[in-house]
A and B are shown apart, each in its own frame.
Chain A
Amino acid sequence: MEYAIYVENLTKKFGNFTAVDNINFSIPKGTIFGFLGPNGSGKSTTIRMLCGVLRPTSGKALVMGRDVARETDAVRQNLGYMSQRFSLYEDLTVEENLDFYGGIYGLPKKVTAERKKELISMANLTGKEKSLAGTLSGGWKQRLALGCALIHKPRLLILDEPTAGVDPVSRRVFWEIIHSLASQGISILVTTHYMDEAESCDTVGFILNGTLINIASPRQLIDTEGARNLEDIFIKYVEQTTNQKVAGTIGDLNFLKGDDINEQR
Chain B
Amino acid sequence: MSSADNRFSFQRFISIIKKEFIQVKRDPISLRLPFIMPVVMMLLFGYAVNTEVDKIPTAVYDQSNTEESRAFLDKFTESDYFMVYETVQSEDRIAQLVKSGDAKAGLIIPEDYSDKVKSGSNTEIQLIIDGTEPTTARTAMSSGQLIARGFSQKYTAEKLMKYGITPDKLTGISLKTDVWFNPDMESTKFTIPGLVGLILQNVTIMLTAFALVREKERSTIEQLIVTPIKSSELILGKLIPYIVIGYSGFLFSLAMCIWVFKVGIAGSVGLLLLLGFLFVYCSLSIGMLISTFAKNQMQAMIVMVFFLLPSILLSGFIFPREAMPEAISYLGYIIPLTYFLDIIRGIALKGIGLDYLWKDTAALLGFTAVILFIATKRFRKSLD
A and B held together in a complex: yes
B-contacting residues of A (Cβ < 8 Å)? 51-55, 69-74, 76-77, 79, 81-83, 85, 87-92, 96, 99-106, 132, 148
Q: Does B4 contact A (CB under 8 A)?
A: yes
A85: chain B residues at CB < 8 Å are 219, 222
Q: Does B382 contact A (CB under 8 A)?
A: no
A51 to B384, CA, bound (A): 11
Pick the residue among A83, A90, A132 that contacts B222 (CB under 8 A): A83
A175 to B254, CA, bound (A): 58
Most buried by A among B6, B12, B18, B228: B228
A99: chain B residues at CB < 8 Å are 15
Q: Does B3 contact A (CB under 8 A)?
A: yes
Q: Which residue of A lies closest to B14 (CB)?
A: A103
Pick the residue among A74, A92, A132 that contacts B4 (CB under 8 A): A74
B218: chain A residues at CB < 8 Å are 87, 89-90
Contact B19 A100 (CB under 8 A): yes
B2: chain A residues at CB < 8 Å are 70, 72
A-B contact pairs, 23 of them (CB 8 A): A51-B226, A55-B1, A73-B5, A73-B6, A73-B228, A79-B226, A83-B219, A87-B218, A87-B221, A89-B19, A90-B218, A91-B23, A92-B23, A96-B19, A99-B15, A100-B18, A100-B19, A103-B18, A104-B12, A104-B228, A105-B228, A106-B12, A132-B26
Question: Given contacts A77-B228, A79-B226, A90-B218, could you give 19 more A-B pairs where the C-beta distance is less than 8 Å?
Answer: A51-B225, A52-B1, A53-B225, A53-B384, A69-B1, A70-B2, A73-B3, A74-B3, A81-B226, A87-B218, A88-B220, A89-B19, A96-B19, A100-B18, A100-B19, A103-B15, A104-B15, A104-B224, A105-B227
Q: Known contacts A72-B3, A105-B227; is A87 also within 8 Å of B219 by CB?
A: yes
A-B residue pairs, 7 tightest by C-beta:
A103-B15, A87-B223, A73-B3, A81-B226, A51-B226, A87-B220, A85-B219
Q: Does B92 contact A (CB under 8 A)?
A: no
Interface size, B (range): 20 to 34
Contact B9 A92 (CB under 8 A): no
Q: Does B371 contact A (CB under 8 A)?
A: no
B5: chain A residues at CB < 8 Å are 73-74
A88 to B1, CA, bound (A): 26
Smallest beta-carbon distance B327→chain A, Å? 41
B228: chain A residues at CB < 8 Å are 73, 76-77, 104-106
Smallest beta-carbon distance B23→chain A, Å? 5
B14: chain A residues at CB < 8 Å are 103
A132 to B23, CA, bound (A): 11
Most buried by B among A76, A102, A103: A103
Q: Does B22 contact A (CB under 8 A)?
A: yes
Task: List residues of B (177-230) whose CB comes within 8 Å of A's CBs.
Answer: 218-229
B223: chain A residues at CB < 8 Å are 81-83, 87, 148
A82: chain B residues at CB < 8 Å are 223
Smallest beta-carbon distance A48→chain B, Å? 9
Q: Does B27 contact A (CB under 8 A)?
A: yes
Smallest beta-carbon distance B91→chain A, Å? 68
Q: Known contacts A53-B384, A85-B222, A87-B218; is A100 also within 8 Å of B3 by CB?
A: no
A191 to B223, CA, bound (A): 17
B220: chain A residues at CB < 8 Å are 87-89
Contact B384 A91 (CB under 8 A): no
Q: Does B100 contact A (CB under 8 A)?
A: no
A103: chain B residues at CB < 8 Å are 11-12, 14-15, 18
